[in-house]
Amino acid sequence: MRDRQSSITNVILNKTHHENKTKKGEPVTLDLSFKIDGNIREVFNPKMWETAYDKHDNVFRMSISVTLKVKSRKIFLTKITRKAPMFWTRSPTIPFRIWVSIIRDDTPFYPVTIEEAKSLLFDVNKIFKIETNNLNHGNHTTYADIKVSWGRHYYTEPEEISIVSNTIDLHIED
């Protein structure tokens, strides 16, 4: 079951507005989306939740680090944490003894289906406002460096996966 690797897929970095030029000092809004696929997504299921819960392993925590760069210079860094606490439920709408809530951006979500739980935890779509004060005028090739990690659990070993997004051009005017 643990033979398939986990990976980051479908990485897309875009400017949210389609203006070609931005004045220096005006913020630029970027949209980053990606999915975490492979082994970790496969083993995150009710059978594993129940076994892990019985072994007192009842919270999955994942750290996501996104660094936006121009060449090799960091222009923006953010850390995102996602959690999946497992709990015993008696809900008549959930056909499992153990279920999960997903905590994204400090907001709890209570998924109804297994696929919804996986999507809430492993699909990322973030919007970033980047200040342009520290960028010189001209064209800047920008990309995102993404790192995702989690610790040891009953159903997975600790792992860190990373990927670099596509590049986009930012044109800064004085």
- The domain limits of the chain are 6-168
172: confidence class by pLDDT, cuts 50, 70, 90: confident
- In whole angstroms, give the CA distance from residue 98 to residue 36: 23
Q: In whole numbers, what is the pLDDT of the chain averaged over residues?
A: 92
DSSP-based three-state secondary structure for 48: helix
What is the pLDDT at residue 3? 52
**Could you tell me if 81 and 69 are in contact, meaning their C-beta atoms sit under 8 angstroms apart?**
no
Q: How many CA atoms lie within 13 A of 69 on its CB side?
A: 14
- In whole angstroms, give the CA distance from residue 100 to residue 107: 14
Distances (CA, A) of 134 to 48, 66, 70, 114, 130: 47, 19, 11, 44, 10
- In whole angstroms, give the CA distance from residue 91 to residue 5: 34
Which residues have C-beta within 8 Å of that of residue 30, sequence separation ≥ 6?
A: 13, 14, 15, 16, 68, 127, 128, 130, 142, 168
- In whole angstroms, give the CA distance from residue 39 to residue 155: 10
Residue 1 clears pLDDT 50, i.e. is over it: no
The topology (CATH level 3) of 6-168 is Immunoglobulin-like (2.60.40)
- In whole angstroms, give the CA distance from residue 63 to residue 147: 8
Q: What is the pLDDT of residues 5-39, one digit of tens each?
A: 999 999 999 987 766 678 888 888 999 999 999 99
